[in-house]
Amino acid sequence: MGVVEDLLDRQAALAKDRSQWEQHWLDVANYALPNVDRFDRLFNNGAGQIDGWASGPKGPDRARAIYDTTSLWAVDRGVAGFMSLITPQSETWHGIASVDAMTDDVDQETEEWSDRFANYLHKMRNNPQTGFWVSHKSALRAMWALGTGIQFVSENLQRGADAPMSYRYVQLSESYLATNYEGVVDTNFRCFTKTAAQCVAKWGERCSADIRAKAADAKTRDRMVELVHAVLPRAERGSGLNSRRNAAWAEFYFERRTKHVLHEGGFNAFPYVVYHWNQMGHEAYSEGPMALALAEVKSLNALSKDALMASQQAVNPPTASIDDGFGRVNLNPGKNNPGLMSPEGRLLVQPIVTAPRPDFAESILNIKREQIKESLYVNLWQLLINSPSMTATEALIRAEEKGQLLGPAAASLYTGIARLVDVETQYLADRGAFEPDQPLAVPDTMQGGDIAVQMDTPLDRMRRSGEVTGMQRTLEFGATIAQLKQNPKILEKFDADTMLDTARKVFGAPASMFKTEEELAAAREEAAQMEQMMQAMQMAQAGGAAAKAVGEGAQAVEGSPALAAMAAGAGWRVRPVGRD
């Protein structure tokens, strides 16, 4: 009981620190994520409010403030573009490599192991049973709109190597985060609800008697129970470090109201992967691009509401009439309103025209929409689409520009991706996946060394496309110089192997497409031997022709006194043909 009380005190302190963010999150959610995070559901107010909140959908209520959908689809468009450039589902976007910054030399065996490991992680995440892509997209959407997105990675002990992990999106409204000395998130108190029946299905007899009784009753089995999942660094670690209760991070599941512990365990890696858009200092949370666009989004919706009212006034204007008991005017098509015309033919009812200008409002709205799209990076996705007839060099230059513009935005996400791979790698290591007799056995060249995630996203390749452009231009310039100097040997300065290696990395081709160093040396040795054989054959053929020419020359000398005299003067000894 004492441990739970201490945990609740820590969660209350984190809730106080988080309170300064909540109004901002609620504002953003109202305009960008109306049906996702429920920031107006406060767990500190008791289960009664939670049950009331769960009684119906709240998205439609919050969406009533939206009169322009630019912010909604801009967030989705931004997330889709970000995923296509950083974490595309159709290809791998990272590897595992040495962290030695003093050398770029990586042997073929290490590169192939890195590719094999990255391909395994990619295939594992693509298994629908892991739930990776659904949770990953939701976490990126929260990062894009709210500044912070959270994914929970857990072991799936019931499955084999095809899906050894499960991924779940965790709402920011449920999470109370804290960071360590370096500003890395290492603590999360997740406050969430499950039904009594779901709790019993998960923890069985470990549930409190109250929860088990509710689950057994058909009338109360769907009653919501408030739970807390606390993961935090373990203060003291005893012996037997293989035990999860002595792991680096402690884990507790408990019922909030009864303070009843449901589960106690641990992790060797922090299982909550946190994506930040722009983390400042040691803050556990960060602002997203919607923070800068929020003022424009609010004014756009306010103006859109006014423009809608102006359009309604222009289409269906209010009317004015004399007060002599005519009653309500029927403005429906084809309806007659007797008595509403004077004997002189003058209408006794006139529209009130205030000269609204919906067209002017629409021009202002379009300007604000463009500003929002700029703030949310939507226009960057059009850089390559707007010029489909570019040359290959122009496309490389444009891709590099796009990569440089998006690079700073992706930098913080890379940190989250690196921690995601760290968690996955730790889970696999706990299962012995890297032992010598396993398919993912680490090669001898990497034994005892430090390794880390090496990002290889399409965005990185876009940013490096300038290297290929530079090589192309240098080759063209070198060819021009060789032609001017009439010296083809100038081109021998180029290292074709290095250029091919660079191009492969920039274009994202697998390392297995190239021969190993041993295979390449053997192939080049065989080619050299073939060249020597060809030269020998050519020399032999040339020698036969020379012998024939010498014989014909000797016959000519014998038959010519003048040639014989010249040969004698030169000291030549002419042997008669056919004689010994």
pLDDT of 330 above 90: no
377: left (phi over 0), alpha (psi -120 to 50) or beta: left
pLDDT at 386 over 70: no
- Which letter, b or e, does each residue of 486-524 get, where b requires 16 or more Cβ atoms within 10 Å of its Cβ? eeeebeeeeeeeebeebeebbeeeebeebeeeeeeeeee
Give the separation between CA 406 and CA 78, rounded to whole angstroms: 11
- List Cβ neighbours of 284 (8 Å cut-off, separation of 6 or more): 17, 18, 148, 177, 178, 179, 185
Cα 69 from chain centroid (whole Å): 24
Distance (Å, whole) CA 154 – CA 164: 9
pLDDT in tens, 237-282: 554 444 566 889 999 999 999 999 999 999 999 999 999 998 887 8
Band of residue 328 on the pLDDT scale cut at 50, 70, 90: confident
Stretch 352-381: mean pLDDT: 77
Looking at the chain, how many residues does it have? 580
Q: How many angstroms separate the CA atoms of 216 and 213, rounded?
A: 5
pLDDT at residue 353 is higher than 80: no
pLDDT at site 85:
81
Strand partners, 250: 232, 266
The more confident residue out of 42 and 358 is 358
Confidence of residue 188 (pLDDT cuts 50, 70, 90): very high
Q: Residue 118: how many CB atoms within 10 A of its CB?
A: 21
Kindly tell me if the per-residue pLDDT of 100 is higher than 70. Answer: no
Most confident of 189-193, 244-248, 471-475, 500-504: 189-193
Please tell me which residue, 222 or 512, carries the higher pLDDT value: 222
Find out whether 65 and 31 touch, Cβ atoms under 8 Å: yes
**In the beta sheet, which residues pair with residue 215?**
none
pLDDT tier at 483, thresholds 50, 70, 90:
confident
Angle subtended at Cα 310 by Cα 305 and Cα 312, rounded to the nearest 5 degrees: 95
Q: What is the structure's pLDDT at 55?
A: 43
Q: Which of 43-57, 205-219, 475-489 is most confident?
A: 205-219
Which of the two residues, 103 and 384, has the higher pLDDT score?
103
pLDDT tens digits, one per residue of 207-233: 999 999 999 999 999 999 999 999 999
> Dihedral of CA 266/166/428/102: which sign?
negative
Output the CA angle 59-130-72, nearest 5 degrees: 25
Per-residue HEC secondary structure of 308-322 comes to HHHHHHHHCCCEEEC
Looking at this protein, which amino acid is placed at residue 425? T
pLDDT of residue 49: 38
The enclosing H or E element of 109 equals: helix 108-126
Residue by residue, DSSP assigns 457-473 as: -HHHHHHHHHHHHHHHH
> Please, which pLDDT band fits residue 90 given cuts at 50, 70 and 90?
confident
Q: Is the pLDDT of residue 185 over 90?
A: yes
**More confident position, 378 or 64:** 378
The side-by-side arrangement of strands in the sheet containing 272-276 is: 165-170, 148-155, 272-276
**Cα 450 from Cα 301, distance rounded (Å):** 52
CA angle 18, 20, 26 (to 5 degrees): 90
With a pLDDT cut of 90, the percent of the chain lying above it is 30
- Spatial separation of the C-alpha atoms in residues 2 and 437, rounded to whole Å: 46
- Residues 29, 34, 35, 37: what is their CA dihedral angle, to the nearest 10 degrees? 10
Q: Which of 188, 136, 137 lies closest to 166 in space, CA to CA?
A: 136
Position with higher pLDDT, 518 vs 84: 84
- In this predicted structure, what is the pLDDT of residue 510? 65
Phi, psi of 98 (to 5 degrees): -70, 145
Residue type, 439: P
- Please give the mean pLDDT across all residues of the chain: 79
Between CA 302 and CA 31 the distance in angstroms is 12
From the CB of residue 77, how many other CB atoms can be counted at a distance below 10 Å? 16
Residue type, 27: D
pLDDT digit string, tens, across residues 32-44 = 887 665 565 543 4
pLDDT tier, 130 (very low <50, low <70, confident <90, very high otherwise): very high
Q: Assess contact for 469 and 396: CB atoms under 8 A.
A: yes
- In what helix (H) or strand (E) does residue 6 lie, and over which residues does it extend? helix 2-32
Give residue 153's Cα distance to chain centre: 17
Instruction: Kindly tell me the burial class for residue 60, based on how many C-beta atoms sit within 10 Å of its own C-beta (0-12, 13-18, 19 or more).
Output: exposed
- CA–CA separation, 479 and 503 (whole Å): 19
Flag whether pLDDT at 50 surpasses 50.
no
Tell me the C-alpha to C-alpha distance, in Å, between residue 169 and each of 12, 58, 144, 337, 394: 23, 19, 14, 61, 40
Q: Band the pLDDT of 390: cuts 50, 70, 90.
A: low
- Residue 58's contacts (CB-CB under 8 Å, 6 or more residues apart) are 35, 38, 40
Reported for 217-220, long-range contacts at CB under 8 A and 24+ positions apart, including other chains, are 220/196
Mean pLDDT of 306-310: 79
Of 33-42, 53-62, 210-219, 423-432, the range with the lowest mean pLDDT is 53-62
Q: How far apart are CA 569 and CA 566, in angstroms?
A: 5
Mean pLDDT within 527-547: 76
CB 178 within 8 A of CB 187: yes
Q: Can you tell me which residue has the tokens 């690079």?
A: 407
Separation in Å, CA 439 to CA 130, 225, 263, 510: 21, 43, 33, 19
pLDDT computed for residue 542 by the predictor? 73
Q: Is the pLDDT of residue 53 over 50?
A: no
Query: What letter represents residue 415's amino acid?
Result: T
pLDDT for position 334: 73
